[in-house]
Structure 1
Amino acid sequence: MKPTIALVGRPNVGKSTLFNRLTKTRDALVADQPGLTRDRHYGHGKVGEKPYFVVDTGGFEPVVDEGIMFEMARQTLQAVDEADAIVFIVDGRVGITPQDKIIAQRLRQTDRPVWVAVNKVEGMNRGVVTADFFELGLGDPVAISGSHGEGVRDLINEVLERFEVPVEDEEADHPKFAIVGRPNVGKSTLVNAVLGEERVIAFDQPGTTRDSVYIDFERGGQQYTIIDTAGVRRRGKVTEIIEKFSVIKTMQAIEDANVAVLVLDATQEVSDQDAKVASFVLETGRALVVAVNKWEAADTEQRDRIKREISRKLGFLEFARFHYISALAGQGVADLFKSIDAAYEAAMIKIPTPKLTRALQIAIERQQPPISGKVRPKMRYAHQGGSNPPVIVIHGNALDEVPASYWRYLEHCFMKTFKLQGTPLQVQFKRGENPFDTQDKPRAKPNPRSKMRGR
């Protein structure tokens, strides 16, 4: 089993920079601002043939007893309990601080092995800069530079020497779903309800989650990854550079997921921003499930209103399933999960060419494509061109003349025939080669509706 290494320390000592170095990604937000990372952030690292998990934690302020900083400290302590090893990061340029001493005292009380990493030592005398940190009583400090990579490999090798680390096998595919929506609609509360524990911070303050948090878990014998994302605000309200990065992280999480769960607030109106998030999900071709949260807090008038607004503003999501839930009370979460599974299966479906061609022939028998000028488009066969979303490529002649209405008809027929509930579908036309046609025309015609959805 792969060991888990937790990175802990005061705010702004370089934990997220080291996390990105270890995972060879830019998954953790990095900026010269204390308190940027708020939740536990999990990633995969590997040194040679030795794989491991690494956890980036929020800045640890152990003297704070309320508010968001208290919640961050609580998350850090929970990460320490879950970890197999702890890397305590301190700032070599600042030197030892009273907060460092308090954190060290907390860490000495755990039974986990601890390494002190003195960060930001590039260009400095390592022996001199690490000398003060022996006072922490946690063994020999190790000098590193997370931003330049100096000493990082030696540190991790030293940590991993303590564990029986298996050679990493190729990981099997499993569903990944992202929880998306505006700030303060209950996304993190829903994540905690799915996991059955307080894995991410759920705090009554908009914008609590700034980074996208990837969490692996198992349910009913099936492996999953759930992604808790930052709330996407209106562009005009995205003023801070950190907020802008959070929006980018949310969009990247949607692209990285198989299924997006769009969370709406039953006590608020469906906004243009909700529709834009849904449109982006469709543009990326991801499967979608909609969760209308806080249903228990909505009165009859609010419930009727939001159903009308969903029909009016989100009518282009006719393929998605809607659930009216209470994440706080855990009501409706089990049924929501069934729809996530169904949407994933639909998005990843593999359809043999003979079945697709037969479904195409049946659709044509019911309703032929309209004649354009003197020509009626002729469709010969279909095959699958991709998954997530499913792409169906139809071959034939004069396919450039197929109108959008017939395109929609074919989409509906394929989705109904193969029961593709919860995923968008892309139909593409590919005309046959004409040896006497010397014009340079594209052979594949994309679906024009992919740019029309959500408008």
Structure 2
Amino acid sequence: MNSVTFKPVVALVGRANVGKSTLFNRITRSRAALVADFSGLTRDRHYGEGRVGNHPFIAVDTGGFEPVAKDGILLEMARQTQQAIAEADVVIFLVDARAGVNAHDHEIARLLRKTGQRVFLAVNKAEGMRYGSAASEFHELGLGEPHPISASHGDGVVDLIEHALSFLDKEADGNEPEDGAFDLDEANAAFPDMDSDTEDESAAEEPEIHHRIKLAIVGRPNVGKSTLINTLLGEERVIAFDMPGTTRDAIEIDFERGGVSYTLIDTAGLRRRGKVFEAVEKFSVIKTLQAIEACNVVLLMIDAQTEISDQDAHIAGFVLETGRALVVGINKWDGLDSHQRERILIEFERKLRFLSFAKMHTMSALNGQGVNALIKSVNQAHAAAFAKLSTPKLTRVLQAAVEQQPPPRKGIFRPKMRYAHQGGQNPPLIVIHGNALDAISDSYRRYLETRFRTTFKLEGTPLRIEFKSSHNPYIQGAQ
């Protein structure tokens, strides 16, 4: 090839707990990957952008590689790693300097040698050790010169990445790559390919989207979040496995549909706090809550084949508290008879009544039923969350609402509302100015909210109203 047009992809591969996620966080200058002294934290592929010197690149964190896994979650994790290897330009194989070479490392090395990919061997956790002695025994893996590093301290990391990417410049010039990388271009691959704000002021039926929508998919474990993402993408991009808690990290995936750009965030299933026993689960809850706070729209998925639980309500309550736009998807609808469908809708109305602002869809993530309507509501909710509300129109709506139903008196005073303006977006904030507004009741606040929602078509987003009373300067001067 004549030039490197696209950012190269660097996949981090190795057995569990050798420091792949720590290295990922360092080279992407983030804390996007879960890191703790437990094996098996990372399960899906996790992407991030990095740069070393003049080399921008895409890093891929993978789960602990079990190449001989026959079934279960380990097989699904191995398939994710296989996909990362297949799509990478460079593979960095991490081993543990303190644990030394073991049979698992040999098995991974054997398979990597068969892929034909460019592989660099990184000997991690070499801090405090003589680099020569730390790396010497890893020559037996047959993957070229070992590179001693410390992912947690940063020692040798820049040199490793620069060395791993240097072959791209060499190949772009038609030269041979440097020594230190294993190159078997003619080998048969061991693994098969697996494959700022909107300008819409009224949040119309078909909103025009001007920036990427960050969509967090949340819900209890095993409701079908990863299955929905795979259906949207048309590939097994994240692990969808019939076991609760398969996803532990929050995985971000860029995606385009109907000319609209999205970042899909597949999150770990949230359990009740009393059931979060393991440190791993605590990490997952934190990452999910962070994903809710960081997104524009939340898709709350509910399992139609189980009862709507208090935990569903807790998740919805947190979404409401953060002010994020919301769409509700009741999944696995295709497996219910008419009686069961009626029951779940009654439960939804009873337990999640406070989500009346959100659009609710019945769907099947597995076969794609209802998905198009779901995404349309996501777009509408996003437009509503970022709607621009003009001060004159807000004030006219306020005056019309007061004229039709004045606020009740409190004592001898009746609250007087003068004008309204927009105070923020995502969620929309309407600030109302006047006198004695501290006396406005919650029921009257809800009445105003309904009027604003109807006029400005603010379906799918929480709406916050703030009252600001004018103060009499003579009262302060008399004190």
Shift of 1:48: 5.0
1:138-189 C-alpha deviation (Å, 9 max, x unpaired): 332211111111111222233344457xxxxxxx841011111111111111
Partner Cα distance (2:308, 2:36) in 1? 33
CA distance in 1, matches of 2:25, 2:430: 38
State which of 434, 457, 460 in structure 2 corresponds to 1:419. Answer: 457
Deviation for aligned residue 1:358: 2.3
Instruction: Give SS of 2:39's match.
Output: coil
Residue among 268, 275, 292 paired with 2:330: 292
Give the direction of change, closer, same or farther, for the CA distance of 1:429–1:68 in structure 2 (3 Å limit): same
Which residue type is aligned with residue 115 of structure 1?
Answer: F
- Asked if 1:327 corresponds to 2:365, the answer is yes
Instruction: Find the counterpart in structure 2 of residue 206 from structure 1.
Output: 244
How far the C-alpha of 1:111 sits from its partner, in A, is 4.2
Shift of 1:50: 4.5
Matches within 5 A, 1:366-377: 366-377=404-415
The residue matched to 1:218 in structure 2 has which SS?
Answer: strand
Change (3 A) 1:328 1:48: same
Q: What is the rounded CA distance, in whole Å, between the counterparts of 2:303 and 2:296 in structure 1?
A: 23
> What is the letter of the counterpart of residue 17 of structure 1?
T
Are 2:119 and 1:114 aligned? Answer: yes
- The SS at the match of 1:436 is helix
Match in the other structure for 1:16:
21
After superposition, residues 354-365 of structure 1 pair within 5 angstroms as 354-365=392-403
Letter in 2 for 1:66: D
- For 2:283, the equivalent position in structure 1 comes to 245
Separation (CA, whole Å) in 1 of partners of 2:413 and 2:166: 72
Structure 1 segment 23-422 matched on structure 2, within 5 A: 23-47=28-52, 50-163=55-168, 173-422=211-460
Shift of 1:436: 2.4
**How far off is 1:433 after superposition?**
4.2
CA apart distance, 1:293:
0.6
Other structure's SS at 2:413 match: coil
Aligned residues: 432
Deviation (angstroms), 1:109: 3.0
Give the aligned partner of residue 167 of structure 1.
none
Letter in 1 for 2:323: G
- Write the distance in 2 (CA, Å) between the matches of 1:200 and 1:391: 36
CA distance in 1, matches of 2:367, 2:153: 47
- State the alpha-carbon separation in 1 of the partners of residues 373 and 234 from structure 2: 15
Cα distance in 1 for partners of 2:434, 2:474 equals: 16
Q: Aligned partners of 2:441 and 2:345: how far apart in 1?
A: 32
- Higher Rg: 2
What letter matches 2:259 in structure 1? G
Please report how far the alpha carbon of residue 90 of structure 1 lies from its aligned counterpart in structure 2 after TM superposition: 0.9
Deviations 1:408-448, CA, capped at 9 Å, x for gaps = 11111111111011111001112224322439xxxxxxxxx
**Tell me, what secondary structure is at the counterpart of 2:109?**
helix
**Matched ranges for 1:433-452 at <5 A:** 433-438=471-476
Letter in 2 for 1:13: V
Q: Tell me which moved more, 415-424 or 363-372.
A: 363-372
State which drifts further: 261-270 or 296-305.
296-305
The DSSP-based 3-state class of the residue aligned with 2:12 is strand
Query: For each residue in 1:102-143, what CA deviation from the matched residue of structure 2 results, as whole angstroms up to 9, or x when unmatched?
Result: 222322333432221110000001122122223333332211
- Please tell me the residue identity of whatever aligns with 1:72: M
- Give ranges in structure 2 of 5+ residues lacking alignment: 1-5, 170-209
Q: Deviations over 1:221-253 (max 9, x none)?
A: 322111111111122221111112211111111
Q: Report the Cα distance in structure 1 between the residues aligned to 2:95 and 2:211, rounded to whole angstroms.
A: 37
Residue aligned with 1:407, SS: helix
Read off the aligned partner of 2:260 and give its amino acid letter.
Q
Amino acid at match of 2:376: K
1:374-408 Cα distance to aligned partner (Å, 9 max, x none): 22222222221111111111122211111111111
Identity %: 63
- Output the aligned Cα RMSD: 1.8
The letter of the residue matching 1:107 is L
Match of residue 430, structure 1, among 439, 458, 468: 468
CA 1:314 to 1:78, structure 2 compared with 1: closer, same or farther past 3 Å?
A: same
Distance 2:404 2:365 in 1: 45
> For each residue in 1:305-334, what CA deviation from the matched residue of structure 2 results, as whole angstroms up to 9, or x when unmatched?
111100100111111111111111111111
Q: Which amino acid aligns with 2:36?
A: A
**Farther-moved stretch of structure 1 (64-73 vs 82-91):** 82-91
Q: Distance in 1 between matches of 2:259 and 2:141?
A: 43
Cα–Cα, structure 1 residues 390 and 161, in superposed 2: closer, same or farther, change >3 Å? farther
Task: State the distance in 1 between where 2:55 and 2:392 align.
Answer: 45
Task: Return the alpha-carbon distance in structure 1 between the equivalents of residues 155 and 297 of structure 2.
Answer: 39
Q: Which secondary structure state, in structure 2, belongs to the residue aligned with residue 207 of structure 1?
A: coil
TM-score by length of 1: 0.91
2:102 partner letter: T
Alpha-carbon distance in 1 for matches of 2:400, 2:165? 60
Which consecutive residues of structure 1, in runs of 5 or more, have no partner in the other structure?
Answer: 165-171, 440-455
1:28-61: per-residue Cα shift (whole Å, max 9, x none)? 2222222121111122323356533221111001
- Cα distance in 2 for residues equivalent to 1:330 and 1:51: 37
